[in-house]
Structures are given as C-alpha cells and as structure tokens.
Amino acid sequence: MSTPLLSATYFDGLQARAQPVSLQVADGALHITGDGIARRVALPHVRWPERTRHGVRITHLADGGELHCADSAAWDAWSQHSGLGEPLVVRLQQSWRGVLGSALALVVLLLALHAWGLPLAARAALQLLPLSVDTSLGDATLQAVDEHLMQPSQLPRAEQARVQAAFSQAMTQAAAHLPLGSVPDWQLVFRASRIGPNALALPGGTIIMTDELVYLVERDTDALTAVLAHELGHVQHRYGVRMLVQVTLLGTVGSLVLGDFSSLLAGTSALLGQAHYSREAEHAADVSAVQLLQAANIDPAAMVTLFDKLAALRAAKDADAKAAPDNWLGIAFASHPTDAERVQFFQRAGRSNGGL
Ligand SMILES: [Zn+2]
C-alpha cells in the first residue's frame, strides 16, 4: 500500500535556502525528495508539529533541518493518511474522555503526594507526562535562555556543521547497536555566552553548546561528542522535567496534565538558575554517555580531555582571585562536580573498551 505525497518546503539547517520537496512516509521513515535532495529520515528522528488550528506546520529533523507546510489542512489530511498519530497532549485536549482521565490521574497524583511525599509523587507524575511536555518546556526554556542569557553563536557555520556531523554520525551508529529508545531525539544548537565553556540539556532534547566549549577542547570532536553524549544522558533520564515537576508539583500539576503549561513556564528560567544536578543524576548521565560512546566506537576516555582542560581553566581563574566564577547556571556542564571519581570512571571505561 502506498502512502500519499505532500508538498512542503525544506530547510537543511545549514543554509537559509528554502527548497521545495515532496514528503512520503514509508518503511518506518520519512522520505524527502526534491531537486538534488533524496533523504530518508527514520521516524524517531522526526519531531512532528503539534496540531494547531491555523498556521504553518513546522517539522523538526534531528540534524537541525526543518520542513514547513503552510497548508495546514493538507498537512493534517496527509498526516492522518500516513498513519501518524496526534501527540498525546493534543489528543487529550480534544477528547472529553481524555480530560476525565487526566482529572482522575490528578486525583491519583495528589493521593500519591499525600501518601509518599514529593520525590515519589514526582516520579509518578513524570510517567504520566507525555514527552511532548518535555518539548514544550524545552522550547520555552530556550527562548528564555536566548532572551536573558546567551547570544547567537560566533562559531563559523562550517565548524558548527563539523561538530553536528560528528555527533550525528556517532549517535546513528550508537542507535544501530543499542536497544530501541536508547538514543533519544536531540537537536544541537550553538550559542555564545557569558557562562563560559558549557553545555546543557533542555527537556525535550535540545542541547546547547557554547562556542567557548568548542574552543576549550580545541575543536576535538571526540571530546565534544563525549560531552554531548553526557547531555543526551540527561535527556534520556528526563532530569530537567523531573526537577521542574518536583518543585512545581503542587501548584501546577492540574494545568500540566491538561496541557496548559503557562503557570509552570513562568518559573522555568528562575528554576534553571538554581537547579543543580545531583551526584546520582550525574552518574546516571555518565553511565549513559559511556554506553553511547562505546556503541559508537569512540573511546569514553575522550571525556577526560574536557575535565583536564576545565581543571586548567579553573586553576588559571583561581590565580586571578578577583575573577568571580560566572557559571551560576547550575544545570550547566562546567559547574558539575569534576571530581577524580568521574575522571576515573571514564578512564576505566576507556580501558575496558580497549581504548586509545
Ligand atoms: Zn550533567
């Protein structure tokens, strides 16, 4: 059975050029065809647009590419006939039964909160929250970050593309060797920032890497891939959302479950500033990173490069005691406890992998 075609506009994520293409879903993949374009993108690497009544439907591809379709009616018909489901939040909103179920979930949640306290109730809430919540949170957080904290990247496009391609290739290889779902959807963006060499994962899979980090490791793509793998570990464990849930559970859980994020989002940027990943969360992300790197045939000891460079940078900063550490963004990589334990963990993983 052949699935229908749809006309759309393709942006490759590297150039601003709009290219007319036709889309088709077949064999578990999205096929993008146009003049000089023949791409096959596995469906897990496609982030479909939320259904809104009007406006351009924008689909995000894991490599930073985008597909735009201005004809929302044509998009919906195509999407439906291609067997693509609606995101859960949208289905919930559109269904009375869903709303009733959500209300029920809310009651269960409040009972859990009463019985077991916050951390366990937060864990329960996390399981009720569809991944599209992570995406919405991540988008809003990126917007806040761009407004208040970071500037557009000064890194040359070619340099960005090189880091992007290395990570993309590594994660494709990792996905081929690991169980399904081991490699969450991700999107890499670069920013210039006063928080220095840093990387952070936003809920939903957007990973921000600062220009300063790229320069710190002297563009060593294995070291950068190792950092990104660690951030992807955070995405996989949904720690960002877990913390948000934990902190804002009482006030916002009703609106969260029903898909209205406004009250939660108001606190997002403030929370990001205060949040520190726990040791446990760091270790879990490190374990994921080693797994991803080994599956991608990259020596996990590449991460040690980063720890070494950060230690050297810190020593230089300490020498100038007046230079106050500017990495108040607790979620960020440079503020992680760079203790000997973590370095050893990556070194050991490197040797067990038959490393360098
Ligand atoms: Zn981390």
Shared-domain flag, residues 166 and 302? yes
Q: What average pLDDT does the structure give for the chain?
A: 75
How much is the average pLDDT of 275-295? Answer: 82
The reply to whether 101 falls in a domain is: no
- Non-local CB neighbours of 323 within 8 Å, separated by 6+ positions: 317
Q: How many domains does the chain have?
A: 2
Band of residue 283 on the pLDDT scale cut at 50, 70, 90: confident
Of the residues 85, 112, 141, which one is the last residue of a structural domain? 85
Band of residue 19 on the pLDDT scale cut at 50, 70, 90: very high
Shared-domain flag, residues 279 and 142? yes
- Non-local CB neighbours of 294 within 8 Å, separated by 6+ positions: 300, 349, 353
The reply to whether 11 falls in a domain is: yes
Q: How far apart are the C-alpha atoms of 48 and 309, rounded to whole Å? A: 39
Distance 55 CA to ligand 1 centre (A): 37
- Which pLDDT score is estimated for 329? 34
The reply to whether 116 falls in a domain is: no
Q: How far apart are the C-alpha atoms of 251 and 329, rounded to whole Å? A: 24
Shared-domain flag, residues 225 and 149? yes
46-80 per-position pLDDT tens digit: 888 876 666 788 888 888 889 999 888 888 888 87
Distance 20 CA to ligand 1 centre (A): 40
Give yes or no for a contact between 192 and 154, defined as CB atoms under 8 angstroms apart: yes
What are the structure tokens assigned to 226, written together? 């190792």
Of the residues 61, 85, 109, which one is the last residue of a structural domain? 85
Distance 149 CA to ligand 1 centre (A): 19
131-171 per-position pLDDT tens digit: 676 777 777 778 877 877 788 999 999 999 999 999 999 99
Rg of the chain, C-alpha, whole Å: 21
The reply to whether 80 falls in a domain is: yes
Shared-domain flag, residues 178 and 296? yes
Shared-domain flag, residues 172 and 303? yes
Shared-domain flag, residues 144 and 33? no
Query: Residue 13: left (phi > 0), alpha (psi -120 to 50), or beta?
Result: left
Q: How far apart are the C-alpha atoms of 204 and 240, rounded to whole Å? A: 9
Higher per-residue confidence, 154 vs 330: 154
Single pTM value for the model: 0.56
Band of residue 3 on the pLDDT scale cut at 50, 70, 90: confident
CATH number of the domain at 39, please: 2.30.29.30
Shared-domain flag, residues 146 and 37? no
Distance 246 CA to ligand 1 centre (A): 18
Of the residues 47, 62, 85, which one is the last residue of a structural domain? 85
Distance 285 CA to ligand 1 centre (A): 6
Distance 63 CA to ligand 1 centre (A): 22
Distance 304 CA to ligand 1 centre (A): 14
C-alpha distances in Å from residue 333, one per residue of 13, 49, 86, 153, 310: 25, 30, 35, 18, 10
Domain extent, residue 260, equals 131-352
Distance 336 CA to ligand 1 centre (A): 6
Please, where are the H alpha helices in the chain? 72-81, 88-94, 96-116, 118-128, 131-148, 157-177, 211-216, 221-237, 239-258, 262-266, 268-274, 279-295, 302-319, 340-352
Distance 216 CA to ligand 1 centre (A): 18
Distance 345 CA to ligand 1 centre (A): 14
The reply to whether 241 falls in a domain is: yes
Shared-domain flag, residues 56 and 200? no
